[in-house]
């Protein structure tokens, strides 16, 4: 697409339009115009020369030509905006409503939308029509930056600035490193002891607490016996059997079944027995990531069983 159109043709029109009341910025194809970001700009005929042509002398400007009635635009625009935010200023996304800015649409010879044009050094250098998945967009942007890095000074400056701004990684805690090393070697006892030692000195260390629960379950899961489930089904009042069966079910991926088994045991028991089952179930919750819907459901059911 290089040299396909002469962008300077808009200069006189833009200057004339700037002397009259400029059009208000139009909303993006995804309705996210309110999310201001220096690398995402709304462009009209009045400011096209400054925001696209002149800016493209420093960094590539990716022009997103869209329309409010365009459904594919509603998928493409958010993806481009996400990548622009990640770009840290190495390139700029210019969003242009073709209905509100027909001269720009005519300039780019727009036949359909969405249409994306990369502008560098005041001229179009590449582009495509139609919506594209994010991986392809990311690859396209990367290729664009690689091709233009030595020509446009703003790319390297933005990338170097972003690199300098990245916070230094915190040094690894040797206590956790020792525990993780033991875990990798399959030494669950050593890993459990290491995490417990951390908690002995820092009782509120949530990372160590969650890791300890995971290690304990992994040790039990390694010994899980599928026949434990059948034995527990024939002995509903045997708490050891119920707990072993629940461990086996969770270990074999039957998470809901394992949770339900222990909740039913809570309903059938009282006193120390009930507390033992409840504690075991709550510890099992800790091995799952926050927000797991199976855990949320089981917590609600446990609360109903208790109260």
Establish if 218 belongs to a structural domain: yes
Closest to 150 in 3D by CA, of 192, 172, 121 = 121
Establish if 215 belongs to a structural domain: yes
The CATH number for 147's domain is: 3.40.30.10
Residue 106 pLDDT more than 60? yes
Residue 195 and residue 161 share a domain: no
Q: Which of 139, 165, 191 is the last residue of a domain?
A: 165
Q: Which of 165, 195, 222 is the last residue of a domain?
A: 165
Residue 69 and residue 19 share a domain: yes
Q: Which of 137, 165, 193 is the last residue of a domain?
A: 165
At 20 the pLDDT is 39
Residue 96 pLDDT more than 80? yes
**Number of residues that this document lists for the chain:** 307
Residue 196 and residue 110 share a domain: no
Residue 223 and residue 102 share a domain: no
Mean pLDDT of 210-230: 81
Query: Model pTM?
Result: 0.48
Residue 182 and residue 161 share a domain: no
At 223 the pLDDT is 75
Residue 244 pLDDT more than 60? yes
Structure confidence by residue, pLDDT tens digits, 262-285: 999 999 998 999 999 999 998 888
pLDDT band at 3 (very low <50, low <70, confident <90, very high): very low
Establish if 1 belongs to a structural domain: no
Residue 254 and residue 193 share a domain: yes
Mean pLDDT of 77-104: 94
Enzyme catalytic residues = 70, 73
Residue 126 and residue 18 share a domain: yes
Structure confidence by residue, pLDDT tens digits, 245-257: 998 888 878 889 9
Mean pLDDT of 49-76: 93
Residue 192 and residue 152 share a domain: no
Residues 6 or more apart whose CB falls under 8 angstroms from that of 59 comprise 89, 90, 91, 92, 152, 154, 155, 158
Residue 149 and residue 191 share a domain: no
Residue 152 and residue 26 share a domain: yes
Report the number of distinct structural domains present in the chain.
Answer: 2
Residue 152 and residue 193 share a domain: no
Mean pLDDT for the chain overall:
84
Establish if 198 belongs to a structural domain: yes
Establish if 2 belongs to a structural domain: no
Give yes or no for a contact between 205 and 199, defined as CB atoms under 8 angstroms apart: yes
Q: How far, in Å, are 94, 276, 279, 285, 305 from residue 272 at the CA level?
A: 66, 6, 10, 20, 15
Establish if 63 belongs to a structural domain: yes
Establish if 209 belongs to a structural domain: yes
Give yes or no for a contact between 140 and 97, defined as CB atoms under 8 angstroms apart: no
CB count within 10 Å of CB 72 equals 16
Residue 212 pLDDT more than 90? no
Strands (E) in the chain, as ranges, are 40-42, 61-66, 92-97, 115-120, 123-129
Structure confidence by residue, pLDDT tens digits, 110-156: 999 999 999 999 999 999 999 888 889 999 999 999 999 999 999 99
Residue 224 pLDDT more than 90? no
Q: Report how far residue 196's alpha carbon sits from residue 228's, in angstroms, rounded to the nearest whole number.
A: 29
Range of the domain at 97: 7-165
Residue 152 and residue 264 share a domain: no
């Amino acid at each position: 697409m290089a040299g396909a159109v002469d962008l300077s043709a808009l200069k006189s029109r833009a200057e004339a339009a700037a002397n009259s009341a400029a059009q208000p910025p139009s909303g993006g194809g995804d309705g996210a115009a309110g999310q201001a970001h220096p690398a995402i700009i709304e462009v009209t005929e009045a400011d096209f020369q400054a925001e696209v042509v002149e800016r493209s002398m420093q960094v590539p400007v990716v022009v997103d030509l869209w329309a409010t009635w365009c459904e594919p635009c509603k998928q493409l625009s958010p993806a481009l905006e996400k990548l622009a935010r990640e770009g840290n200023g190495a390139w700029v996304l210019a969003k242009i409503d073709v209905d509100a800015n027909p001269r720009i649409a005519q300039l780019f010879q727009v036949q359909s939308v969405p249409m994306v044009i990369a502008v560098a050094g005041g001229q179009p250098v590449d582009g495509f029509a139609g919506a594209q998945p994010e991986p392809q967009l990311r690859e396209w942007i990367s290729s664009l930056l690689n091709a233009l890095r030595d020509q446009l000074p703003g790319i390297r400056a933005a990338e170097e600035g972003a690199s300098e701004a990245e916070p230094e990684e915190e040094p690894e805690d040797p206590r956790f490193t020792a525990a993780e090393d033991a875990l990798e070697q399959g030494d669950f006892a050593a890993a459990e002891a290491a995490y417990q030692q951390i908690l002995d000195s820092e009782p509120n260390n949530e990372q160590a607490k969650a890791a300890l629960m995971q290690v304990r379950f992994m040790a039990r899961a390694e010994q899980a016996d599928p026949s434990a489930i059948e034995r527990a089904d024939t002995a509903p009042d045997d708490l050891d059997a119920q707990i072993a069966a629940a461990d086996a079910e969770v270990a074999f991926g039957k998470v809901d079944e394992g949770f339900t088994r222990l909740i039913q045991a809570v309903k059938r028991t009282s006193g120390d027995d009930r507390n033992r089952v409840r504690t075991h179930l709550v510890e099992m919750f800790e091995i799952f990531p926050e927000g797991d819907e199976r855990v949320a459901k089981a917590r609600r059911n446990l609360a109903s069983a208790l109260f």
